[in-house]
Structure 1
Amino acid sequence: MFFVLPAVILFGLFFTYPLLASLWQSFFTTRGGVSTFVGLDQYARLFSDPLIGKSLTTAGILLVVQVPLMMCLAVGLAYLLNQNWLRFTSGFRVIHFLPAVTTLVAYSVVFRVLLATDGGAVNQVIGLVGIAPIDWLNNETWARVALIASITWRWTGYNMVIILAGLQAIPAELYEAARIDGAGRWAIFTKIVIPQLRPVLLFTGITSTIGALQLFDENFILTGGGPSDATLTPVLYLYKVGFRQFDFGYASAIAWLLVVLTAIISIVQFRLTREKS
């Protein structure tokens, strides 16, 4: 207990106390420097706030489109890098993992420059094949596409490395037995690889889901939540409410809404995976 005590103190000061303080703060509103207890009014306000709906819509799009896309790419790349016939696998792993060690702000700024309407490298490249410049960051649809592309670029390699570790932990005897029984590549992939990877896929799926719900840096730098709040996420909205409008009570309520949603989605993912196993 003596050796654990420093970690417990730090955990209590920087996690438990802020967590409970934010819950307590969500029951108050502050006006003119005076805090007033309002009960559940801040939570009732969530249901009538249209920007909450928009931010959750953006988060839903990320969960439905970006997370499955990224997971499929990560599984495919990991499976490819796990093949014995492939050479220079270490170099490929490093190349694919490099985006994960790039700072969030740095790569978001780079994507903002690349996707600039006038003079951006992406529009210059597509212009070579006769495609008109796309207003990536100022059009609602294309802004979402740009956001999904940037997140997928950064986190695919990270998930790939984790999945690759799971692939390398699968006993070789399973592959040999399947080949003896006449199983093809697709049968081996669906009947052996995916079931054996289920715990790893559960972990990467839950962490990716949490990351999508907590997205802030990319859309804050790329679009600022625009255009017309098309890329507004719950955490970015929380930031605007708390640190621009200084309504910390309502911001705390948004934070706890996010906590509840994250917990529900994670539990559902865990139960679905557990039932299949």
Structure 2
Amino acid sequence: MSTAKKGMSIQRKSNLTGWLFVSLAVIMIVVFYFYPMLQALLLSFKSGTGMNLEFVGLDNYKRLFTDTTFRTALTNTFIYLIVQVPIMIILALFLSVLLNNSQLRFKGFFRTAIFLPAVTSLVAYSVIFKYLFATDGLVNKFLMNLHLIQTPIAWITDPFWAKITIIIAITWRWTGYNMIFYLSSLQNIDNSIYEAARIDGASATRQFFGITIPLLKPIILFTSITSTIGTLQLFDEVMNITKGGPGNATTSISQYIYNLSFKYSSDFGYAATVSYSIVVIIIILAFLQFKLAGDDK
């Protein structure tokens, strides 16, 4: 056998071995990801109660434009997105720069403490927030003891303050998670760049906006997109803290999908339609974020 044929045989065996290693993962992804996605898409063209479904074409998608509850849930979700995500990204950036300071003592403790909320149980921390922000909860008592307020704030039962409570909760949980990405990236930036900037007389603020932000641009884009996706899928906090109330003042799109499937008369077809509306919104927002970031790749 010639050397070329032996090389091809070895290459073919290597490729076959590689495919054998990844085949199980590929099969699992197809079965548990792509097949359910396809079934959900087909389901979105059907309507009915429970499993008594019939094909209705685009009626479910037309219903979206006249569904006031969907518009309310969509508005609430975009309020969370527009207010909470920028606050969280800026706060995570600030904390990462602060904790990257080589002169700061107990850095390991502070990093762990800030990251810990990201690994706590969603249900457990949501219930704790519900009691903390209750009318007679610790937050109101603390504010009243400091004479910042005269009467307790209706954090859970007032439409405006209920949204603020949800925003505070998800910011508390996910800021540390995003901070870790920024911190790991900052530690990969050569310190000589900052030394050269200091020699040239650049202030700390100018270094931050002229060096840190540009070098962290890919990570900022990544965390912005993942945070956007996470906020559009917001469910646990709303479900466990306010249950979507008062009225539908805090209902998110994901909770509305849950209600359509299990709380109201089970309309799985329309629930699938609302689910795919999230997919479309995520694609549009991700595309816009790439364009605004100037990423042409």
Q: Is this a same-fold pair by TM over 0.5?
A: yes
**Which of 91, 98, 110 is matched with 2:128 structurally?**
110
Q: Which residue of structure 2 lines up, in the alignment, with residue 148 of structure 1?
A: 167
Q: 1:148 deviation in Å?
A: 0.4
Q: Which residue of structure 2 lines up, in the alignment, with residue 243 of structure 1?
A: 262
Q: How many residues align?
A: 276
Q: For the structure 1 residues 31 and 218, does the alpha-carbon distance in structure 2 shift closer, same or farther, using more than 3 Å as the test?
A: closer
- AA of the residue aligned to 2:26: V
Superposition CA RMSD, Å: 1.4
Q: For the structure 1 residues 63 and 140, does the alpha-carbon distance in structure 2 shift closer, same or farther, using more than 3 Å as the test?
A: same
Given that residues 233 and 254 in structure 2 are in contact (C-alpha distance below 8 angstroms), is that contact kept between their aligned partners in structure 1?
yes
Q: Distance in 2 between matches of 1:148 and 1:110?
A: 15
Q: 1:229 deviation in Å?
A: 0.8
Q: 1:238 deviation in Å?
A: 0.5
**What 5-or-longer segments of structure 1 have no aligned partner?**
none
- AA of the residue aligned to 2:287: I
Q: Distance in 1 between matches of 2:118 and 2:224?
A: 16
Q: Which residue of structure 2 lines up, in the alignment, with residue 258 of structure 1?
A: 278
After TM superposition, the score normalised by the length of structure 1 is 0.96
Q: Distance in 2 between matches of 1:234 and 1:10?
A: 28
Q: Larger radius of gyration, structure 1 or 2?
A: 2
Q: Distance in 2 between matches of 1:186 and 1:10?
A: 49
SS in 1 for 2:60: helix
**Which of 71, 76, 82 is matched with 2:89 structurally?**
71
Q: Which residue of structure 2 lines up, in the alignment, with residue 139 of structure 1?
A: 158
Q: Give runs of aligned pairs for residues 206-225 of structure 1, distance below 5 A.
A: 206-225=225-244
- AA of the residue aligned to 1:98: L
Q: Which residue of structure 2 lines up, in the alignment, with residue 21 of structure 1?
A: 39
**Which of 19, 29, 52 is matched with 2:70 structurally?**
52
- AA of the residue aligned to 1:129: L
Q: 1:166 deviation in Å?
A: 1.0
**Which of 134, 141, 145 is matched with 1:128 structurally?**
145
Q: For the structure 1 residues 261 and 85, does the alpha-carbon distance in structure 2 shift closer, same or farther, using more than 3 Å as the test?
A: same
Which deviations, in whole Å up to 9, do the C-alpha atoms of 1:164-184 show, x marking residues without a partner?
A: 111111111211221122111
2:291 pairs with 1:271 = yes
Q: Which residue of structure 1 lines up, in the alignment, with residue 187 of structure 2?
A: 168
Q: Which residue of structure 1 lines up, in the alignment, with residue 117 of structure 2?
A: 99
Q: For the structure 1 residues 11 and 275, does the alpha-carbon distance in structure 2 shift closer, same or farther, using more than 3 Å as the test?
A: closer
Q: Distance in 1 between matches of 2:103 and 2:146?
A: 35
After TM superposition, the score normalised by the length of structure 2 is 0.90
Q: Which residue of structure 2 lines up, in the alignment, with residue 80 of structure 1?
A: 98
Q: For the structure 1 residues 33 and 108, does the alpha-carbon distance in structure 2 shift closer, same or farther, using more than 3 Å as the test?
A: closer
Q: Which residue of structure 1 lines up, in the alignment, with residue 178 of structure 2?
A: 159
Q: Distance in 2 between matches of 1:134 and 1:146?
A: 11
